[in-house]
Amino acid sequence: MCEAQVFVVKGEKKEKIMENVVTLRPEGTKVLLTDLFGEQKLVSAKIDKVDLLEHEIFLSQ
C-alpha cells in the first residue's frame, strides 16, 4: 500500500490529522490532502518532511 499518515508538528508534539492519504497538493499557504476514499481536508500548513519508508508526511503550522 502507498497510503500515508499525515501529522501536524507543533513544537515537540505531533498530531495525526489524516490517514490513508494518497495525494497532497500545495494550495498557496495551505495543503490539500485527499484520502483513499476521496475525502479531502484543506490544512493551513507547509510541508516539513515526507518519509516514504514509513509512509508519513509531516506538516508544520
pLDDT band at 1 (very low <50, low <70, confident <90, very high): low
- Tell me the C-alpha distance between 48 and 53, whole Å: 16
- Tell me the C-alpha distance between 18 and 5, whole Å: 6
pLDDT of residue 61: 87
Cell of 17: 490529522
CB atoms within 10 A of CB 12: 5
pLDDT of residue 21: 98
Global pTM value: 0.91
pLDDT in tens, 5-55: 999 999 889 999 999 999 999 999 999 999 999 999 999 999 999 999 999
pLDDT of residue 49: 96
